Amino acid sequence: MAPPRAQEAYEEFYATLGGKPVHHTLATHWARLVELLYAAERLLKLSTDPEITNPHVRNLPTEKPTEGVGIVKKTNLIVGTTNNYAPIAISVRKAAQAVIRKAVVTEGILNRVGMAFRSYDSCFGCATHTLQIETVG
C-alpha cells in the first residue's frame, strides 16, 4: 500500500493473525479498517494535489459524444452473499452454540451471534439492526 500508515496497519494485521491467508471470519472488520485508513490517506494526498483544482479537470464536450450512459431497466444479480449462504449458516450455528446456554437468549447474546452473520457482507451491519427472538416448540 502506498500510504505509509496504511502499509504499517496492513503489516500489523498479517503479523498479528499469523500471515497469509487469514481464515478468521471476524478479521474482515480489521481488514476494512485498514482499507479505510488507506482511503483516508489517499484522500488527504489527492485533496492537497494542485491538479485537483486545475480549471481543465472537467472539459465539457464541444462535439456530439460517441459514447454515452445506458439505463438498466431489469437485472438479476447474484451477489457475493448468495455464494456465502452455507458459510454464513455455519458461522451463525457455531456462534450460537458457543454463547447460548440453557435456552437463555438475551439481546447481548443475539448481538454476539449477529457478529458472525454481519462479517460476510459490509451491508449487513446497517441492514440488520434487530434480530427477533423466536421461541420454538
Distance, CA of 125 to CA of 118 (rounded, Å):
6
Domain parsing of the chain, residue ranges: 1-51, 69-137
Please compute the mean of the pLDDT values over residues 68-95 and round it to a whole number. 87
Helix residue ranges, H only, the chain: 4-16, 27-47, 80-83, 85-99, 107-118, 124-127
Q: What sign does the CA torsion over 43, 49, 50, 56 have?
A: negative
Please compute the mean of the pLDDT values over residues 17-38 and round it to a whole number. 92
Residue type, 69: V
Q: Which residues contact 88 (CB under 8 A, 6 or more apart)?
A: 81, 116, 117, 120
The vertex-129 CA angle with 127 and 131, nearest 5°, equals: 110
What φ, ψ does residue 31 adopt, rounded to 5°? -60, -40
Q: Grid coordinates representing 119?
A: 462479517
| Model pLDDT, residue 7 | 96
| Model pLDDT, residue 118 | 81
| Model pLDDT, residue 60 | 81
Query: Tens of pLDDT along 31-40?
Result: 989 999 999 9
Distance, CA of 10 to CA of 18 (rounded, Å):
13
- How far is C-alpha 40 from the chain's CA centre? 16
Q: Is the pLDDT assigned to residue 110 strictly greater than 70? A: yes
pLDDT averaged over every residue in the chain? 85
| Model pLDDT, residue 97 | 95
pTM: 0.60
Please compute the mean of the pLDDT values over residues 6-31 and round it to a whole number. 93
How many CB atoms are located within 10 Å of the residue 131 CB? Answer: 14
